Structure 1
């Protein structure tokens, strides 16, 4: 994250106050050490000071920000062809047919389309020496949909790519509010098409969807899940799975942790920026004016569209395998938990789709990791053991769902060409684990293929819980992990009553009488 020197000057008193509070044991969470306490104070302060900047200035600052990569990392620039974006537009136009008024603007005529989609390949230079599998991560950066860049997140991307023995492709999608929904979804879908249908001069062969993991943090995590829904609903080949860090899936801010975890997270009550051409709201004390557009990313009328708020989809089944990580102290915790339960249909009586005319899909396989005391996207704080542990667990997930190739027939069939996958769109959902791993013996073979001893523990851990005692696939795994990265307990499930209560909260703005802080400037 880029830091304005003036922000540091302003934050210095906050740092001193934090140190004083810490040694007085006035800590939002007793598990925080001083270093983490100071880091969260810094990020919170920078975001709160965003109201003094225009969106345009903030976007420009963050677009250029990045931490230099070490010599062991290869960075190659790329451009996603406009033909990929045109194809993505056609897909989205079909899915959004009849909802043009809800979307709220002429998105096909967006002038920002004159700017090409810029991307970059990130990988360890020795990747091919340590793996024979061609794993590809399509990484989508976070930033509340209106800030951030691929370069800014490169310091995280390179670590995940290394942990997963993969190469990563990240890109700069169009940002809101200049280009609201569905611009970011279209650009993400275009990047996916670029990977599976590259032009002749791209410098790489078409990549099988089964060799791709879509990944993102925060808003990028939400986009990753949106794309999974888009591909499912359009009948197109899905990737092997998705890895999401603190995904933002509920743009209504419906659930309790948005307020109950305010003191243990750095996310502000709302993103407020100085009035500018991109953000014409001049009087933020005018509640009515603020409520007409709560989020920069989408008009209020569009927030209920599942490709904006994925958790609101009638059915979250039929998706590729999903790995979700969140912090127990973050404000988006509850939506990550509820999404995981809803997608895996832990309680069919609550989550099974029974709407007339709406197709019901089989449960999605979901692994949820909740880290004790951690805030939103805590992986940013690389110095902390929980952050490095989360990166390793994510890498283990990527290695697991895209295993090392074998010489048997089951392996060759699992790495079929894109054209054959595309022609069999009825198989979308890809329960590839059932096809690629048909027995405990196969799982043990996969374990032996792992080349990294440091990741072996996590890999074993995940494999052991892929099946229950009856040899059936577990669709939901929930791990609670302490601040040192140790698994405290596994497979806790929320009770049906709480899940039903939370599900009934979705799609509604918070009660301003109960939570006036929602509109704080």
Structure 2
């Protein structure tokens, strides 16, 4: 690691000097360490000689091991016999598709449902920071974890990583903190990653995981979880997945309302639709526009460690067994024909009516515009929204810079929301509140209300046109940025 940092010393020195002289725009908002860290991290994300996709996955997805004040119990939900999950998801995909119907050859390539692994995660008290898990079965670890769970809250967590990186093991600090601060537990999904498993494999795995919580398979560790105690949560691409799961359920329920009697076949039982909705959604810096059409994807580059999205200025990763894909496509996560589908680019969803309350946090980051656009759309559709914009903060700052006061404030916002809507101590949810839109100032943490009418950079019609134009541009000039990780 030291050898990797040596070439970054001139960059760090230049950024530090500009900060000390109060010349850099960030110096007004950030401390010296944070500004230098963001600049150095950004430089690592634009290497002059990128690794292959498989090399990057092997490096980033490495399990650091389990130790300290955390319970982890691995469980694999078996695949449900038949095609019930796949059939339901195809109904949702077709129902949300606008314009020409999807070609049958594309639908034929969609994956089947399969077993889905997850990590039950809880806080473990009364042990030293280097404690190891006891050498017992996963079932016994789960039983011990449940002895320390204080509330009925269950967070179905979807990790970030641009849909091709990261794993529940990389997000254990986040899921442990969620469990500790809410008194509940997390079910952190090891969904299938692209490019090996493109859309809709991850959405299929998320739907399987939700049904696993509601209707446990025979070998499951847990009892059925009431939907009013479940939160869908995620960061970055995981935020996309949490919201895609929600939109899938909303669409299936809309179809069931117009055509009664629909079901999902699940482990020998036909589950009737509509499906119950979770208590709420909690997303951090969600990635909502697969086409990168928003101005903030370039305009906020100075404040983010994610590099500005200029993919054609960067070298492509070298070929490897999984990329380029076969059949060819330009996007790691999704077939080109589906890049603007409402379960991929969530901004394209026509309606969120009936959705449970949503908490969303974002910074002055590349994804800021799309996050604001969705918050405004949710509010317009009658959904309760708690939206918090953190001044000058980068992507997923609360997970990346845990010691910042802004990060601590963001964690309070997240976990207070979860406890409110999903039931905290005693298992009863508090009275639901109103929507709120707030800017949290850097350093002072002063909270300034945002007028919801001024939240979005432009109206929905303009947004749709920008996305459509970006799709056409992507096809014409060689595709979207498949290498920038929305970590």
What TM-score do you get using the length of structure 2 for normalisation?
0.78
Q: 1:399 to 1:309 in 2, by over 3 A?
A: same
Q: CA RMSD in A?
A: 3.3
Deviations 1:224-283 (A, max 9, x none): 1110010111122111111000001111112211111012111122485222232229xx
For the pair 1:400 / 2:361, whether they are aligned, the reply is no
Cα distance change on mapping 1:497 and 1:216 into 2, 3 Å: closer
> Aligned pair 1:387/2:390, yes or no?
no
Q: 1:131 to 1:58 in 2, by over 3 A?
A: closer
Work out the CA distance in 2 between the residues paired with 1:171 and 1:85. Answer: 22
For 2:444 and 2:74, locate their aligned partners in 1 and report how far apart those are by CA, in whole Å.
Answer: 35
Q: In structure 2, the residue corresponding to 1:254 is in which secondary structure?
A: coil
Distance 1:84 1:376, change over 3 A: farther
Partners of 1:319 and 1:141 lie apart in 2 by 21
Deviation (angstroms), 1:175: 1.1
1:308 aligns with 2:344: yes
Kindly indicate whether residue 381 of structure 2 is the aligned counterpart of residue 332 of structure 1: no
* Shift in Å, 1:170: 0.6
Deviation of 1:209 (Å)? 1.2
Distance 1:43 1:195 in 2: 37
Report the equivalent of 1:96: 93
1:505 aligned to 2:460? no
Contact 1:225 1:310 in 2 (8 A): yes
Alignment equivalent of 2:445, drawn from 476, 481, 486 = 486
Once the 2 structures are TM-superposed, how far is the Cα of residue 101 of structure 1 from its aligned partner?
3.2
CA positional deviation for 1:123: 0.8
In the TM superposition, what are the counterparts of 1:164-179 in structure 2 within 5 Å? 164-179=182-197
Aligned-partner Cα distance in 1 for 2:394–2:8: 19
- SS class of match (1:139): strand
In 2 relative to 1, CA 519–396 (structure 1 residues): closer, same or farther, beyond 3 Å?
A: closer
Mind listing any 5+ residue stretches in structure 1 that lack a counterpart?
282-291, 346-361, 412-435, 438-442, 444-462, 467-473
Q: Number of matched residues? A: 425
Alpha carbons of structure 1 residues 119 and 10: separation in structure 2 relative to 1, 3 Å: farther
1:394 CA drift (Å)? 0.6
Q: Deviations over 1:58-93 (max 9, x none)?
A: 1111221447542x2211111121118954322112
1:96 match: secondary structure: helix
Which structure 2 residues correspond to residues 152-301 of structure 1 after superposition, within 5 A?
Answer: 152-235=170-253, 236-268=275-307, 269=309, 270=311, 272-280=316-324, 293-301=329-337
What TM-score results when the alignment is normalised by the length of structure 1?
0.74
Aligned equivalents of 1:172, 1:202: Cα separation in 2: 16
Shift of 1:128: 6.9
Question: Take 2:281 and 2:146, find their aligned partners in 1: how far apart are those partners?
Answer: 23
Separation in 2, partners of 1:310, 1:497: 17
How much does 1:105 deviate? 6.6
Match in the other structure for 2:121:
122
How far did 1:54 drift?
Answer: 0.5
Question: Residues 383 and 253 of structure 1: is their aligned pair in 2 closer, same or farther, counting only changes over 3 Å?
Answer: same
Displacement, 1:306? 0.6
Query: What SS does the aligned partner of 2:469 have?
Result: coil
The answer to which of 236-245 and 85-94 deviates more is 85-94
> 1:140·1:221 contact (CA, 8 Å) conserved in 2?
yes
- 1:112-144 per-position Cα deviation (integer Å, ceiling 9, x unaligned): x77x43211111135878875310001100011
Gap change, CA 1:188 and 1:385, over 3 Å in 2: same
Q: 1:79 aligns with which of 56, 76, 79?
A: 76
Q: Secondary structure at the match of 1:18?
A: helix
